[in-house]
Amino acid sequence: MDSSRIIVKSPGRINLIGEHIDYNGGYVLPGATDLIIEFTFSNSKKNFSEIFSSTINKECKIEFSNLSKSKIKWENYLIGSIVSILKKRKVELKNFTCRIDGNLPIGSGISSSSSLICGFIKGIDILNDLSFSNDEILSISREVEYDFIGLKGGIMDQYTIINAKKNNLILLNTKDNTSKYIESNLGEYKILLLNTNKEHDLSNSAYNDRVNECNKALQIINEAGFDFKYLTQINIEQLIQLKNKMPQYIFSRAIYVIEENLRTLKSVEYLKNCDYKSLGNLMYLSHDGLKNLYQVSCEELDFLVDQTKSYDEILGARMMGGGFGGCSINLIHSDFIDAFINEIRDNYYKKFSIHLSPILTSLGKGLRFNNKE
């Protein structure tokens, strides 16, 4: 391989359970997909940099002297990454060409945007010998999404993309960003994602509203005499005592958050005991909470989850990621995958006239470059 060429592979992330918990200081249980974005970087002698994505068949030119926001959304992930890198290191970056390929679906709740940002930062890091640590890549990528893009999300996606290990989930405590790997082979069961193909744009959606609603709940709780930093610190009994002090919908959001956080910890126990049936039940409960209390699901996701309930071979299903579209995640017996896919595809098309995209995935490796582990 040409030594001046740098190849970076950046995965997507799945989340077994612990949804909308990462900005509430609680526990989440994500892992990387084996689907990736692949970047090929080379140095360039031109006085600008060029990026071509074969996935969306688009090209973007970047001049380091003009890093203002673009009207084209995907370009902002790239421009924002350079802005944040330059804030971290006051250096003159080398111009480059970058080709983006891969098989990670876009806008499907598998975190293609964080994967794009993390992989892009890693490539520029290597190209310029910036020697960023994983924690630095984490904070840079987080800043891009939070400040430049405006998604007030948590840290789960970037943390997972950077740190994931094959066949492992990560139990991440978002209170202090400490984590443990949880080996997860899932026995005879597999992870099947069902992509609704209902595009969602989290930065324009109710995602940030949910973040604000959780902050509101925390504020009311603290005004009542507590001194918590995160919503996950209050317990159910304490919250019920404060029910009359908050609007019903804020109470519902808070109840969901506290229950989901407990479900995540319980899921780890079930995983360790290979009790996949109980784990699956928690996934269904998680979906109920996301649909009814947290209200981030949609008709398509609810349909997909409901359909699984008539099959013993599927132990659990729920919407995954920010919501309002994207994928459901299903724990399904390996012998039943083909039959189920055929059936659900037809049923989904009959109901919504949208093609469903099934994605069978295993737990893959985190961010890597030049075929290094």
| Residues catalogued as catalytic | 157
Q: How far is the CB of 101 from ligand GLA (least distance, A)?
A: 23
**Looking at beta carbons only, is 322 or 358 nearer to ligand GLA?**
322
List the one residue out of 250, 248, 247 whose CA is nearest residue 231: 250
Can you list the positions of beta strands (E) in the chain?
6-15, 27-28, 30-43, 49-53, 58-62, 96-102, 168-173, 178-183, 189-195, 314-319, 327-333, 357-361, 363-364, 368-369
**Looking at beta carbons only, is 53 or 111 nearer to ligand GLA?**
111
**Looking at beta carbons only, is 22 or 242 nearer to ligand GLA?**
22
Alpha-carbon dihedral 262, 11, 113, 143, rounded to 10 degrees: 70
List the one residue out of 282, 273, 330, 325 whose CA is nearest residue 305: 330
**Looking at beta carbons only, is 11 or 322 nearer to ligand GLA?**
322
Residues whose CB falls within 8 Å of the CB of residue 204, separated by 6 or more in sequence, listed in order: none
Q: Which residue has the tokens 């992330």?
A: 13
Q: How far is the CB of 322 from ligand GLA (least distance, A)?
A: 3
Q: How far is the CB of 373 from ligand GLA (least distance, A)?
A: 26
Q: How far is the CB of 82 from ligand GLA (least distance, A)?
A: 21
**Looking at beta carbons only, is 98 or 318 nearer to ligand GLA?**
318
Q: How far is the CB of 26 from ligand GLA (least distance, A)?
A: 10
> Do the beta carbons of residue 363 and residue 184 sit within 8 Å?
yes
CA 164 to each of CA 104, 129, 310, 364, 370: distance values in angstroms, whole numbers, following the listed order: 16, 23, 33, 7, 17
Contact residues for ligand GLA (CB under 6 A)? 19-20, 22-23, 111, 153-154, 156-157, 321-322
Helix (H, G, I), strand (E, B) or coil at 256: helix
Determine the Cα–Cα distance for residues 62 and 115; give it in Å rounded to an integer.
20
